[in-house]
Amino acid sequence: MVTRATSAGPAATAGSPVVVAVVQFAAGTDPSANLAALREHVRTAAERGARVIVAPEYSMFAVARLDERVVAIAEPLTGPFVTGLGEIAREFGVHLVAGIVEQVAPGAKQIRNTLVALGPDAKLVAKYRKVHLYDAFGYLESDVVEAGAIETPATFTVDDVTFGMQTCFDLRFPEGCRRVAAAGAQVLVLPAQWIPGPAKVDQWTTLLRARAIENTVYVAAADQCAPRGAGASMIIDPTGVVLTELGDEPGVLTAGIDLDQLAAVRRTNPSLALRRFAITERAPE
């Protein structure tokens, strides 16, 4: 597998923008192999100056349709895959975000679709359990996955830049991303396994740009590539401009998060400050 790296700017130095990277790769059914592949992509991103690296949803274990295999492979947050992610983060001195298959409890018949963020000290700094399950397009993620509880938005901060997390199908629910922005996030990281299909890449791109524009945030979206994902990973600025993107091949993208630009955008378009409506939790039917 050939990794292609592109960049929207030079590697970070003192006083320069924080560089964020997104990793696009084809995760499979061997967690150890997925971890090894991810490590090489993280190496590439770190060599390009990335401080925060975002890998796809289900980086730990990916199949076309969830079934008993994903339940059997699930691990707790203290399991070997998350431990391995922490070791990679420590090795390269980065914050690493990735999607895992979290065990609910020993013997449980469901799993959690969870994002974890590991710091350069290998410790867990944030976690997010997917709230909106992919019960759409003839698919029922809820058959196998337990929805995450509505909690305070999961964020973490690197060099004064605050990152917030959402996952894949969450993208279709603007109020979830708005909660993250309202909680102080300046960058929305969005790992995904965006299932391929008619118009799916167009929808993905449109929704990502909309979330950036309406919340005046950067968006770093890391999708799986073919065959299980649609690809099109990208990094978007707070005006909705796509800074860098991939097709459906494996690769690494990097771009700088410039807080001065973000502040200027928010002065020009203070949509967060002007909003008139709050977001309230809706009980599932």
Domain contains 3: no
C-alpha triplet 116, 112, 230: angle, nearest 5°: 75
What is the rounded distance in angstroms from the CA atom of residue 282 to the CA atom of residue 269?
Answer: 29
| Other CB atoms within 10 Å distance of the CB of residue 48 | 19
pLDDT at position 3, please?
35
Residue 43 has phi, psi (to 5 degrees) of: -55, -50
Least Cα distance to 208 among 226, 196, 227, 223 occurs for 223
Residue 156 predicted with pLDDT over 80: yes
Q: Is 130 annotated in the active site?
A: yes
| Listed range (12-26, 91-105, 136-150) with the worst mean pLDDT | 12-26
Of the residues 57, 75, 141, 245, only one is catalytic, namely 57
Residue 113 lies inside a defined structural domain of this protein = yes
Find out whether 221 and 234 touch, Cβ atoms under 8 Å.
Answer: yes
Residue 66 resides in a domain: yes
Query: Residue 235 is part of which domain span?
Result: 18-271
Residue 151 lies in a domain: yes
What does DSSP say about strands 111-118 and 161-165: parallel, antiparallel, or unpaired? unpaired
Where residue 201 sits, what CATH number does that domain have?
A: 3.60.110.10
Instruction: Of 252, 192, 264, give the one whose Cα is nearest residue 40.
Output: 252
41-67: per-residue pLDDT in tens?
Answer: 999 999 999 999 999 999 999 998 899
pLDDT at 259 over 50: yes
- Whether 177 is a known active-site residue: answer no
Q: What is the pLDDT of residue 15?
A: 54
- Average pLDDT over the chain reads 93
Catalytic residue selected from 75, 130, 141, 225 = 130
Least confident of 15-24, 27-36, 188-197, 222-231: 15-24
- Is residue 20's pLDDT more than 70? yes
3-state secondary structure of 203: helix
What values do phi and psi take at 152, rounded to 5? -55, 135
Q: For the segment 96-112, what is each residue's pLDDT rounded down to a tens digit?
A: 999 999 999 999 999 99
Let me know if residue 280 belongs to a domain.
Answer: no
Q: Residue range 203-207: average pLDDT?
A: 98
Confirm whether 278 is domain-assigned. no
247 part of a folded domain: yes
What crossing angle do the helices spanning 80-92 and 31-47 adopt, rounded to 10°?
20
How many Å apart are CA 126 and CA 211, to the nearest integer? 21
Say which of 168, 177, 225, 245 is annotated catalytic. 168
Amino acid at 262: L
Per-residue confidence (pLDDT) for residue 283, from 0 to 100: 79
- The number of distinct structural domains making up the chain is 1
* Mean predicted confidence (pLDDT) in 182-210: 97
Q: What is the mean pLDDT of residues 212-226?
A: 97
Instruction: Confirm whether 209 is domain-assigned.
Output: yes
